[in-house]
A and B are shown apart, each in its own frame.
Chain A
Amino acid sequence: MKRELPFVLVFIFGMFMLLQYFVPHEKSEWVYEFFLAWTIIIGIFALALGIWSLFKVSVDKIKMHRPGWGYSYVTLAGLFVMIAFGFTKRNGDAWGLYHLWWILGLLCLGAIMQVRAETNTGRKKMYFVVSLVLLAATVAISIFDNTWSFHFYTSEGLENTLFRNFFDYIMIPILSTMFALLAFFIASAAYRAFRARNLMATLLLFAALLVMSRFNPWIPGAEYVAKASTWLMNVPNLAAQRAIVMGIGLGVIATALKVILGIERGYMGKG
């Protein structure tokens, strides 16, 4: 029951999705669309599970004082502040005590973490009292301050200026800089890889240089370089990409079949 039923379910749903393609009927297509929508909805619950896991890992790291535990406060602060911004909205032109509210909320969270992490009973009591006071202040502000409100019932929280600012001034700079950082590592890898030691390395070097100089208007014969580069991307590159894609396709098909037939069972875990 614990292990067999899931494999039976995998077989039934897998075979249905596989066979419905060969039965182009209105009803089978309806069920097909239905199952795809279900997968997305269940995926959101999986996301919630992931958030809980992140929270638990961070809290445990603080509690156990594992290496780098201080940074877990940063993760938790980012998590809670962004969630708070996603579900609150300013009512008028002024923010009132909103900023004080979320800062006190963060401090309260920090105090609660300290209660869990502290081993000394005296300090534990002190942090407990502090967290209660901060919690009371946070709740009081959220009740009596009318300049902003919670929006659990409309997505207006996503239009909150602070939610958008966190996206524009925190998420985007970090994400794009992380990708930009790879330019330096790629340059360092290129220095080692791009030496024309044999025909294969020369081909690699030539193709890379041609593609990189595609949009350079200052090199002599820029027009021909651009044309040659486009041809290289559209013809030899396409040929090898196609060979690779066919290999990947066959691999995915084989794996999918193994999963449906219950030969591959690693995804179910132990127990």
Chain B
Amino acid sequence: MKRTTVLVMVGAIVIFGISWVLKSMSLTSTTDHYIAKGFAITFAAFLTLCIFSFLYKDNPFYKFAEHLFVGVSAAFWMSMGFWSTIVGNLIPRVSETLSNYFKVPYHPESYNPFYFLPVFLGILLLLRLSRKVGWVSRWPLAFIVGTTAGFNFIRYLRSDFIEQVSATFVPLLVDWQGIGHFFSNLSLSSTGQFVAMLSNWVIFFGVLCGIIYFFFSKEHKGVFGGASKIGIWILMITFGASFGYTVMGRISLLVGRITFLFKDWLSLIS
């Protein structure tokens, strides 16, 4: 290990220790377990700074936080999955004895021996670890892939295609009472007739032009090319809006972390 690395690590440990002591002292009057609470807050701040250190470059502190997260989150999801799915949903359906052991309510009417089959398939899936009989794990995989493919076929056909096409066919003339009435009542009010009609036109032709832009079986020339160009303008607006929306979300998270550092850890803001 390089001398500089050792010095940086020693410095980080010393700063961590000082911070822990100061934080614990500041919590003496507010909580009984002030030493543990002080350690938890200091460690959370340390991990926050470890991740932020990636802005400089990939470094051992960032890698430490990254690897810790991988281990902790894997164990967290395994514990949650075991207690909520296996114990919470499976056990009460297959065995009274196991339900009593795991202290989960057993309802005789919900007993279903067919639930032993996914357990059997799950065990077959674990055979993937074996070199000799690993090929058996393809059976549960085939079950998952087959059911998911069939399920997604219908789901996407309904929600992402039929429903979307149906919602695109909106009236292009809203509350139409003649051209004279239209121009005499023209306003930019968001609830007005003009804005409602404009919105419907933009939605209908926007979707149409957007789809034309993605249609590559015909050359984008003439009217088709014009529609494709409008399609890309609409797409650019969407990309810009999505970008702005994402930035706002990330900034709010950043504000949350900065608030944690300056309020909960350093107590510089009230």
- Using a CB–CB distance below 8 Å, which chain A residues touch chain B? 2-3, 5-7, 9-18, 21, 34-52, 54, 68, 71-72, 74-83, 86-87, 153-155, 157-158, 163, 165-171, 173-184, 186-187, 190, 199-201, 203-212, 214-215, 227, 231-250, 252-253, 255-257, 259-260, 267-268, 271
Contacts and interface: CB of A to CB of B under 8 A. Distances in A.
B210 to A, nearest CB: 3
Nearest to B238: A240
Given A205-B240, A246-B160, A179 B234 contact: no
Nearest to A78: B71
Contacts of A18: 150, 153-154
Contacts of A232: 237, 241
A238 B156 CA distance: 18
A9 B146 contact: yes
Nearest to A205: B240
- Closest 10 A/B residue pairs (Cβ): A17-B150, A239-B206, A249-B160, A243-B210, A78-B71, A207-B240, A45-B122, A211-B244, A13-B146, A82-B75
A242 B146 contact: no
B217 to A, nearest CB: 13
A14 B150 CA distance: 4
Given A17-B154, A248-B160, A242 B237 contact: no
B237 A10 contact: no
Given A199-B233, A256-B153, 17 more contacts: A10-B145, A14-B149, A21-B154, A153-B103, A168-B40, A173-B44, A177-B48, A183-B253, A190-B243, A200-B236, A206-B240, A211-B243, A212-B247, A241-B238, A243-B206, A256-B149, A268-B142
Interface residues of B, number: 120
Interface string B156-188: 110111001101100000000000000000000
Tell me which of B76, B146, B168 has the highest count of chain A C-beta atoms within 10 A of its own C-beta. B146
A266 to B, nearest CB: 11
B87 interface: yes
Given A79-B75, A183-B254, A54 B70 contact: yes
B101 A153 contact: yes
